[in-house]
Amino acid sequence: MIFRHHYGRTTWIDLESPTRDELRDVLREFDVDAGIEHEVTTPTPYPLFVPFSDHLYAILHFPTALPGGGAKDQEIDFIVGKDYLITCRYEVIDSIYSLHKAFEAEDLLSSTDKHMRTAFILERLLRRLYGALARETEDVAQTLERIERDIFSGRERVTVRRISEVGRTLLRFQTALTHHNDALDNLLGALTESSYFGKSFAEHALHIQAERDHALHLIESYREVAHELRDTNDSLLSSTQNEIIKKLTIITFVTFPPILIADMFGMNATAMPLVGHVHDFWIILSMMVVAALLVFLYFRVRRWL
């Protein structure tokens, strides 16, 4: 699918899962270097920036959370010329789709700047992508709030997996944005040169970097929250397990004397005391109860109970 937006001499073309013929036609239309075709049609696992004589090529990966947990990276290829911007992707990206709808609505209302430059479109696109990532991070933060409530309501064991999933998602977000540094900075730096948009692009670059930094700081902050919650959850789990072990130990020691007495009177000895007495059963049972109570009182005195 091909989306086209024209603003005077400026054109933005967004290719969504294009065929090779569609991609080749667009690249020929704007006289883009033929070597880019191979890069666009094959996945690239890392950000990339390649300058050409009259256009720039960059690859950035924007992470997104998956409904079932975890995250994945969505690759976007950018080809930037003085009077055009070409983006190519092989997945539906909501933030780009919403930008298309915003441009269409502005066109209908005749509120679009007919002399909009490529620099402004690129800024608007990148800020929307980073803004969408910041909103996804806020959604993850709501999950952290629910996890915190569960932790302090006695559901520590249930939250172990959820904390791990949130931590992996935030780590994926942080890793992807951190990898943007070189490619994005090189792209923005090249666009600020006089051969492209010049110093007038510096303000656009600052806005883009500020949006990226805001998203990255959010991710880092919530990763710290996730770490704190994991530590708190681990401490509560350890405390709960210690209490269980303590109770089991006390039960073992309290029941040990009666068991020992029962085993003693169960021996096949010929001169067993009390055996044969008219009240032998009740006497032995009383001895068991008294021994258990003595051990129990000992634990109480030592404040182990």
The C-alpha angle with vertex 71 and arms to 16 and 155, in degrees rounded to 5, equals 150
| Nearest residue to 215 via CA among 121, 139, 158, 115 | 139
> What pLDDT is attached to residue 207?
92
Q: How does residue 57 score in pLDDT terms, banded at 50, 70 and 90?
A: very high
Task: At 10, give phi and psi (nearest 5°).
Answer: -95, 135
- Which residue is associated with the tokens 């699918």? 1
Query: Is 21 in contact with 154 (CB distance < 8 Å)?
Result: no
The CATH homologous superfamily for domain 2-239 is: CorA soluble domain-like (3.30.460.20)
pLDDT band, residue 112 (cuts 50/70/90) = very low
Least trusted range by pLDDT, from 11-20, 193-202, 216-225: 193-202
**pLDDT at site 194:** 80
Banded pLDDT at 59 (limits 50, 70, 90): very high
Burial class (CB in 10 A: 0-12, 13-18, 19+), 106: middle
The predicted-structure confidence for 284-301, as pLDDT tens digits, reads as follows 778 878 888 887 787 777
CA atoms within 13 A on the CB side of 253: 15
Residue 258 or 19, more confident: 19
Domain ranges of the chain: 2-239, 266-301
Stretch among 6-10, 16-20, 200-204 having the lowest mean pLDDT? 6-10
Which tens digit of pLDDT belongs to each residue from 24-45? Answer: 888 888 888 888 888 888 888 8
Farthest-apart Cα atoms in the chain, separation: 115
Q: What is the pLDDT of residue 110?
A: 56
* Helices 118-151/156-191 angle, 10° precision: 170
> Measured at the alpha carbon of residue 10, what is the angle toward residues 8 and 16, in degrees to the nearest 5?
125
Position 271 scores a pLDDT of 64
pLDDT at 111: 46
pLDDT surpasses 70 at 73? yes
First and final C-alpha spacing in the chain:
71
What value does the mean pLDDT take over residues 210-220? Answer: 92
Query: What φ, ψ does residue 83 adopt, rounded to 5°?
Result: -120, 15
Which of 2-6, 54-58, 70-74, 102-106 is most confident?
Answer: 54-58
Residue 236 has pLDDT above 80, yes or no: no
Residues 6+ apart with CB under 8 A from 199: 192
Q: CB–CB of 115/41 below 8 Å?
A: no
- Residue 115 is predicted with a pLDDT of 42
Is 249 or 64 the better-scoring residue by pLDDT?
64
The answer to whether the CB of 189 falls within 8 A of the CB of 104 is no
**pLDDT of 215:** 92
Q: What does the alpha-carbon distance between residue 297 and residue 291 come to, in Å, rounded to a whole number?
A: 10
Stretch 63-86: mean pLDDT, rounded? 86
Average pLDDT over residues 164-183: 89
**pLDDT band for position 270 (50/70/90)?**
low
Mean pLDDT of 141-156: 81
% of the chain exceeding 70 in pLDDT: 92
CA distances to 119, 122, 189, 239 from 204, rounded to whole Å, are 7, 9, 11, 53
**Is residue 303's pLDDT more than 70?**
yes
Average pLDDT over the chain, rounded to an integer: 82
Asked if 159 and 234 touch (Cβ cutoff 8 Å), the reply is no
What span, in angstroms and rounded, lies between the C-alpha atoms of 299 and 305? 6
